[in-house]
Amino acid sequence: MPFVHMYKRHFLFLTIINFTLMSFEVTILGCGSATPTSHRNPSAQVVQVQDRSILIDCGEGTQVQIRKNKIRMQKINHILISHLHGDHYFGLIGLLSTFHLLGRDKDLHIYAPEDLKDIIYGQLKASKTYLKYTIHFKSLNFSGKNLIFEDKKIEIYSFPMRHSIEVCGFLIQEKTHPRKINRTAIDAFEVPTYQINSIKEGANFSTDDGREVLNSKLTFEPNPSFSYGYCSDTSYYPELCHSIKKCTVLYHEATFGNELEKLAKQTKHSTAKQAAMIAEQAEVGQLVIGHYSARYTDLSILLTEAKEVFENTILAKDGLRIILE
C-alpha cells in the first residue's frame, strides 16, 4: 500500500511508490552531505517531467542508485551540477564513462560551474577515453536568476545562493498545459479537426454562419502545472525566495539542527528551521529537507524543528519518490 500525502491547499498528492512513471516525478538518489554513510548517499536526484529526465547533482555512487531505482539511464539528457564540492559531482565521470560503454550516441547537456569542463576533459584525456557522444557544457551564471533551458513543455532556471564557493539552485517548471477539450461541445458546434489544437491553446471558434463561440464553452480548465525547486548547499539566504516563489515542491538543505546553528553559519549551511523559514517566506506548497550531516542518525529532530515553522515538511531519504498529480 503506497503512502499518500495530500496537501489540502493545492490538492497536491505526494506518493512514494516503486513503479509507474507519472508526468512529474522526483527520485531522491542521495540526501547526505560531505561523505557517504551506510544509510545515505551524497547528493543526487532525478526529475522526470513530460518525458524528460534531468539529473540534479551527481555525488559518488549515483549511477548505482540510478540502477537500484530502475531509472532509465540513457534517458537522462540534461545534468545540472550546483557547485564543485565533491559530494555533488564526484560520481559524474563514472556516469559519463558508463554512458560511453553502453553505446550512447545522443548528445548530453551539462549545466555547471565553468571549471567542471576542464575537470571532465582532463579525466577523459588521462584515461584516453574518446566518447561516442557529444557533451555540450553550459557555464552557470552566478549573478541572478537565469533561464538555462527551455522547450515546448518545460523551463529550467538557475539562481545564485550563498555557500563557501559559488553555487546555484535550480527551478524546474512545466509550462501551462493546453486546455482540455469538451468533446460534447466540439461535436455540437461541428468544430473541424484541424482547429482543435488552436482551441486547446485558447482560441475561440467561428461557426459557418458567423457566430463566435467562446473558448470557455469548448474547453475545460487545463491540468495544473507543477514546479520543483532545488536548494543545496546554501546558508540561510532569504534573497533566493523570489526565484522559487510558490513552487509546488521545494527541496532545501537542512544540514544541521538548531543546536548547531553557529556551525551552520560558519560552514555556510542551513539548519532545518532555516530551511522551513525559506519555505514559509517563499510560500511553497511542500518542503522536503535533506543534505543531512552524517552526525544525525535519528532525523526526527530535524523534522520536528522544521515542522514547527512549516508544517507541510517531509524528510528526504534515499529512494524516496515524489509524484505530483
Kindly list the catalytic residues. 87
Dihedral angle over CA of 91, 97, 103, 106, nearest 10: 70
Asked whether 26 and 319 are in contact (CB, 8 A), the reply is: no
SS (H, E, C) 12-47: EEEEECCCCCCCEEEEEEECECCCCCCCCCCCEEEE
Three-state DSSP at 255 gives coil
Joined together, the cell numbers standing for residue 112 give: 555547471
Nearest alpha carbon to residue 165 among 119, 115, 121, 120 = 115
Task: For residue 90, count CB atoms less than 10 angstroms from its CB and return exposed for 0-12, middle for 13-18, buried for 19 or more.
Answer: middle
Asked whether 52 and 78 are in contact (CB, 8 A), the reply is: yes
Beta bridge pairs of residue 58: 44
Asked whether 297 and 315 are in contact (CB, 8 A), the reply is: no
Task: For residue 100, count CB atoms less than 10 angstroms from its CB and return exposed for 0-12, middle for 13-18, buried for 19 or more.
Answer: middle
Three-state DSSP at 50 gives coil
Joined together, the cell numbers standing for residue 118 give: 576542464
